[in-house]
Amino acid sequence: MKVISAEKLTKNYGKNRGITGLDLSVDEGEVYGFIGPNGAGKSTTIKLLLDFIRPTSGSCRIFGENCITASADIKKDIGYIPAEVSYYDGMKVLDLLVYSSRYYPGNHQTYTRKLCEALDLDTTRKISELSTGNKKKVAIVQAMLHKPKLLIMDEPTAGLDPLIQYEFYGLVKEANKQGVTVFFSSHILSEVQRVCSRIGIIRKGRLISTQSIEELTQAQYKRVKVTLDGEFNLPGAENIKRRNGTIEFLYKGSADALLKALAARHVSGILIEDPPLEDIFMTYYREGGK
């Protein structure tokens, strides 16, 4: 079943571009990373899915239901972590969590307590006195406490220290194991690598590629480091850097062509590996930028 599907989703803010003709599809049980530079349209897409804003054209569905007309119904099973977190003045953490849980039928106390412990969140403090990171933790707990079927998160780990990030991704993975679908945006690529099963790359309001993590890291690109005398050029080599006789580049093409080209030279050192996502993204961003 498709948990999220968008067709030709377009949003313009006056003359400004939001997103253009976005087709999106997220299956049940996936962890989908929505990646792009700042201002690419990640938040716009998320706000359209949650009906905070209305599309200029196109449509989107969650759980097969229309995101606009069935918004209230859909949201029973959604947890949302916004990019910027602000809450009602004077509320304590516990007040907010209790308030949030009242919107969903059932008793959520035990699970809420478990989440707070996992994230090391002090529920007796006033929210207005919390640091950005702690406010984010509150957002995470209130989004997960009713055990939603779909988690939508806009840059969820911004402001969290690495240790808490680790805990957070632990929670996400655990939820995912229990069948929760996760859709989240980020511009931090290592994050994506760690948890996502599939990613969509968005740039200037358009989805320019959708791939599984394996496809992205293994099937296409290799990072090659060779030490040899003189120049080396090969079709498919990108991002070429030279330092002290060592040439480093990203290679997209047949392994055979690479090896044959290298065989003709005197090579004193070689390393061929899967590149980190960062390197791949740089090429994506640049390709689109030309």
Partner 1 sequence: MTLFLREMKGNFKSFVIWTLCIIVMLGVFLAMFPSFAAQGESLDELLSGFSEDMLKIFSFDNLDFTVGIDYYAYIFQYILLAAMIQFMIMGAGLISREEDGGTINFLYAKPLSRSSIVTTKFLAGFTYIAVFFVVFTGSACAVLAAVDATAINFGVMLLFSCALSLGQLMMMGIGMLISMFVTRTRTLMSVSIGVVLLLYILSMVINLNEDLSALKYVTPFQYFDSRSILHTESIEWVYVILPTGAALAGYALSLVIYNRRDLKC
Which residues here bind partner 1, judged by CB under 8 A? 47, 50-54, 71-73, 75-76, 78-80, 82, 84-88, 99-100, 102-104, 142-143
CB 92 within 8 A of CB 125: yes
| Closer residue to partner 1 (CB): 100 or 134 | 100
Paired residues of 26 in beta bridges: 4
Paired residues of 287 in beta bridges: none
Instruction: Report, in Å, the least distance between residue 20 CB and partner 1.
Output: 17
| Closer residue to partner 1 (CB): 109 or 190 | 109
Instruction: Report, in Å, the least distance between residue 207 CB and partner 1.
Output: 21
Instruction: Report, in Å, the least distance between residue 280 CB and partner 1.
Output: 32
| Closer residue to partner 1 (CB): 142 or 157 | 142
Closest alpha carbon to 213 in 202, 201, 205: 201
Instruction: Report, in Å, the least distance between residue 47 CB and partner 1.
Output: 7
Instruction: Report, in Å, the least distance between residue 102 CB and partner 1.
Output: 4
| Closer residue to partner 1 (CB): 118 or 153 | 153
- Alpha carbon distance 250, 139 (integer Å): 39
Specify the amino acid at residue 107: N
| Closer residue to partner 1 (CB): 47 or 114 | 47
| Closer residue to partner 1 (CB): 88 or 166 | 88
Instruction: Report, in Å, the least distance between residue 24 CB and partner 1.
Output: 19
- Alpha carbon distance 98, 83 (integer Å): 22
> For 132-151, b where at least 16 C-beta lie within 10 A, e where not — what string?
eebbbbbbbbbbbbbebbbb
- Alpha carbon distance 179, 22 (integer Å): 26
Evaluate the CA torsion angle 209, 11, 39, 45 in order and state its sign: negative
| Closer residue to partner 1 (CB): 23 or 77 | 77
Q: Which residue's entry shows tokens 């993204």?
A: 281
Token reading at 242? 């030279």
Instruction: Report, in Å, the least distance between residue 62 CB and partner 1.
Output: 12
- Indicate the angle between helix axes 109-119 and 162-177, nearest 10 degrees: 140
| Closer residue to partner 1 (CB): 153 or 189 | 153
Instruction: Report, in Å, the least distance between residue 139 CB and partner 1.
Output: 8
DSSP state of 125: S
DSSP state of 90: T
- Alpha carbon distance 235, 62 (integer Å): 43
Specify the amino acid at residue 191: E
Token reading at 9? 């989703």
